[in-house]
């Protein structure tokens, strides 16, 4: 484009043979606010191509070079353009015959007879420029549409690049739940090409049967509910491949709204076969590990009992060993259920105290009070073993050795970031502090410090044993469960 | 000590692949007066379960990597009460064999004797 193209588009090129004709015409247009531009016949092509609003030419200027150039210039115009041409006929009598011979080759030409009034010429040029303006508006519209079209094509190319390069299978369903688009990943996933499912209920193609062989009616399908319920739906389902095999998928179905009206659903689907088998494999490994741990503990139990037959020990000692072994095993159970990630404090407490409550048939003698926390594995084991030792001691000497004694276990998170658990016995016989530090006490006091940077203090108060356990929250707690529960 | 008189003379099939664990069961149950048959794999356990006269059976769930379920099914067909001992969780067994007792390994002597006693008692009519 020329920098002054706006000006050039509106100018009127003037082609004359005699200089006095040019002078007269220029004079006629003085004060008419129309840009007249004299053009030498040799420059016609370049001036024409540079842009013009109209061409005014005298018949005398139409020499043979002009007559051979002009039709080409006219024919080469873009589709929107048809430059208006005013031909001022020569005043000779035979002018008419000559004009009619060549006007068909000069396109949008109007012939004005000379002599004429100046106003007629000026007005004719104005009309020509007006029609040229109309052509320019048409051109602008066409160009704007072309730009939009190009933008749309770019967008489309980008979109299909995304759609066809993502590993996520993407489908589009119309308001009748029929498939109207699927990307390359969707074709790979399902085994179908778009042409095979285009216009069909997607459910009927991919999801028609449950893995157990029962038919899967579309009205039961959570994917197809996203549209009528107008809400995004996520979940896991099992699809049927074109070749008949079933495969598990995770899906997201999102209703598509246009001007607040739901017009269809975009469905994203991911094959989760691998993920499922990995999870299953992990679960199997944990089960296997647990099985071995449990068998090993049972073996230890057996070795102990066999040894005891040859080397008898006291019944107290035997019971203590057995019950510690079983307590260790029970605390493993809760961790196994959560794949060795965490164990809920409350369930852990219940499980550690269960043999004592069960034996006395009086679970109400334990009062548990605190919110549920998920403990990390280390903390779970140490705390469960500590509770077991405290309960064992309480059964032998403390609150649980009488008919009416109770144990209150409270736990709470105190500032700054400390989980504090207190074990308070009451209603038992008068407490006599022990003369030496037994295994249970050492396990509680040393175990907590060693494993968790925690602290435990056992006080032999006259009214009953009080044990205060403090551990840093960041070492012991993975998360806070449901709101506090009190038993 | 639990009352083990009821178990005296009961014929019990013990299916367990770990020798030391089998010895533990043998010790406990022989002390109770039970008469034991011990099988360490699925094949021999199936043989005993299908042919022998039994009052009850204790099945380890995993026998050298094989599940003891076929043995359980034979016992069930013959109407012989049985319990599982397992190092796995109890959920899967509870689903497969609802109503059958499951002891988690390692188990206490008292729990073992109590569960076996329940198995050997005839079902209450009604």
B110–A contact, CB cutoff 8 A: no
pLDDT digit string, tens, across residues A337-357: 776 777 888 888 888 888 786
Give residue A85's pLDDT band: very low, low, confident or very high (50, 70, 90).
very high
pLDDT digit string, tens, across residues B50-105: 999 999 999 999 898 899 999 999 999 999 999 999 888 778 888 999 999 999 88
Three-state SS at A18: coil
B33–A contact, CB cutoff 8 A: no
More confidently predicted of B13 and A175: B13
The two structure tokens encoding residue A338: 């959560």
B62-101 residues touching A, CB cutoff 8 A:
62, 86-89
A354–B contact, CB cutoff 8 A: no
Answer whether CATH 2.60.120.200 is correct for domain B6-120: no
Whether the pLDDT of residue B1 is over 60: the answer is no
Which of B67, B91, B71 is closest to B82 using CA atoms? B71
Chain A residues near residue B21 by CB distance under 8 angstroms: 295, 298-299, 302
The answer to whether B87 contacts A301, with C-beta atoms less than 8 Å apart, is no
**pLDDT at res. A487:** 32
Chain A residues near residue B107 by CB distance under 8 angstroms: 298, 326
Q: Are strands B102-104 and A169-174 parallel, antiparallel or unpaired?
A: unpaired
Average pLDDT of chain B to the nearest whole number = 90
A151–B contact, CB cutoff 8 A: no
Neighbours of A157 (CB within 10 A): 10
The H or E element spanning position A159 is: helix A118-165
**pLDDT at res. A354:** 80
The answer to whether A298 contacts B24, with C-beta atoms less than 8 Å apart, is yes
A284–B contact, CB cutoff 8 A: no
Can you give the residue ranges of every domain in chain B? 6-120
pTM score: 0.61
Whether the pLDDT of residue B21 is over 50: the answer is yes
B125–A contact, CB cutoff 8 A: no
**pLDDT at res. A424:** 94
Most B-contacting residue of A298, A321, A330, A354 (CB-CB within 10 A), to test interface: A298
Domains of chain A: 5-142 (3.40.50.2300), 166-271 (3.30.450.20), 335-486 (3.30.565.10)
Contacting residues for A276 by C-beta, under 8 A, at least 6 apart = A248
The answer to whether A298 contacts B88, with C-beta atoms less than 8 Å apart, is no
Residue B112: phi and psi, rounded to 5, are: -65, -50
Three-state SS at A276: helix
pLDDT digit string, tens, across residues A277-305: 998 898 888 888 888 888 899 999 999 98
In whole angstroms, give the CA distance from residue B86 to residue A480. 32
Residue A399: phi and psi, rounded to 5, are: -60, -30
Average pLDDT of chain A to the nearest whole number = 86
Neighbours of A386 (CB within 10 A): 24
Please provide the distance, in angstroms rounded to a whole number, between the alpha carbons at the two ends of chain B.
32
More confidently predicted of A365 and A17: A17
The answer to whether A329 contacts B106, with C-beta atoms less than 8 Å apart, is yes
Give residue A151's pLDDT band: very low, low, confident or very high (50, 70, 90).
very high
ipTM attached to this prediction: 0.86
């Amino acid at each position: 484009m020329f920098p002054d193209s706006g000006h050039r588009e509106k100018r009127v090129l003037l082609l004359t043979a005699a200089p006095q004709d040019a002078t007269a015409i220029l004079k006629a247009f003085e004060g008419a606010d129309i840009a007249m531009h004299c053009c030498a016949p040799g420059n016609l092509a370049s001036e024409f191509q540079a842009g013009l609003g109209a061409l005014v030419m005298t018949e005398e200027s139409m020499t043979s070079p002009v007559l051979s150039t002009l039709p080409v210039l006219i024919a080469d115009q873009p589709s929107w353009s048809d430059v208006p041409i005013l031909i001022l006929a020569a005043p000779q009598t035979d002018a008419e015959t000559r004009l009619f011979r060549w006007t068909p080759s000069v396109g949008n030409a109007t012939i004005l007879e000379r002599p004429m009034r100046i106003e007629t010429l000026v007005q004719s040029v104005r009309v020509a420029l007006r029609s040229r303006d109309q052509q320019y508006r048409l051109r602008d519209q066409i160009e704007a549409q072309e730009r939009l079209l190009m933008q749309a094509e770019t967008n489309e190319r980008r979109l299909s690049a995304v759609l066809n390069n993502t590993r996520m299978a993407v489908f589009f369903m119309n308001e009748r739940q029929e498939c109207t688009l699927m990307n390359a990943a969707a074709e790979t996933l399902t085994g179908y090409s778009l042409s095979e499912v285009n216009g069909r209920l997607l459910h009927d193609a991919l999801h028609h049967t449950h893995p157990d062989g029962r038919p899967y009616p579309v009205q039961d399908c959570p994917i197809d509910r996203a549209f009528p319920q107008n809400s995004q739906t996520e979940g896991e389902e099992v699809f049927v491949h074109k070749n008949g095999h079933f495969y598990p998928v995770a899906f997201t179905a999102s209703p598509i709204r246009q001007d607040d009206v739901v017009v269809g659903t975009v469905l994203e689907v991911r094959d989760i076969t691998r993920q499922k088998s990995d999870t299953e494999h992990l679960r199997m490994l944990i089960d296997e590990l647990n099985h071995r741990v449990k068998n090993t503990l049972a073996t230890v139990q057996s070795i102990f009992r066999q040894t005891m037959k040859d080397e008898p020990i006291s019944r107290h000692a035997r019971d203590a060993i057995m019950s510690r072994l079983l307590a260790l095993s029970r605390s493993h159970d809760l961790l196994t259920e959560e794949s060795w990630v965490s164990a809920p404090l409350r369930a852990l407490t219940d499980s550690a105290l269960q043999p004592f409550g069960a034996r006395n048939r009086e679970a109400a003698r334990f009062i548990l009070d605190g919110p549920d926390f998920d403990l990390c594995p280390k903390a779970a084991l140490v705390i469960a073993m500590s509770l077991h030792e405290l309960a064992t001691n309480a059964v032998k000497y403390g609150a649980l050795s009488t008919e009416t004694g109770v144990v209150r276990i409270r736990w709470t998170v105190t500032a700054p970031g400390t989980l504090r658990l207190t074990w308070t016995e009451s209603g038992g016989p008068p407490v006599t502090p022990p003369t030496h530090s037994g295994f249970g006490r050492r396990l509680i006091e040393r175990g907590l410090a060693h494993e968790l940077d925690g602290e435990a203090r056992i006080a032999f108060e006259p009214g009953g044993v009080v044990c205060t356990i403090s551990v840093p929250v960041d070492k012991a707690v993975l998360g806070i469960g449901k709101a506090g529960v009190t038993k | 000590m639990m009352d083990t008189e009821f178990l005296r003379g009961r014929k019990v099939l013990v299916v367990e692949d770990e020798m030391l664990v089998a010895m533990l069961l043998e010790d406990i149950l022989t002390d109770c007066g039970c008469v034991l048959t011990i099988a360490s794999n699925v094949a021999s356990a199936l043989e005993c379960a299908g042919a022998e006269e039994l009052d009850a059976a204790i099945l380890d769930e995993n026998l050298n990597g094989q599940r003891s379920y076929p043995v359980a099914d034979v016992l069930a067909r013959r109407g012989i009460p049985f319990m599982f001992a397992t190092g796995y969780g109890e959920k899967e067994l509870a689903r497969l064999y609802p109503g059958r007792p499951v002891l988690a390994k390692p188990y206490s002597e008292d729990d073992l004797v109590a569960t076996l006693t329940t198995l050997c008692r005839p079902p209450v009519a009604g």
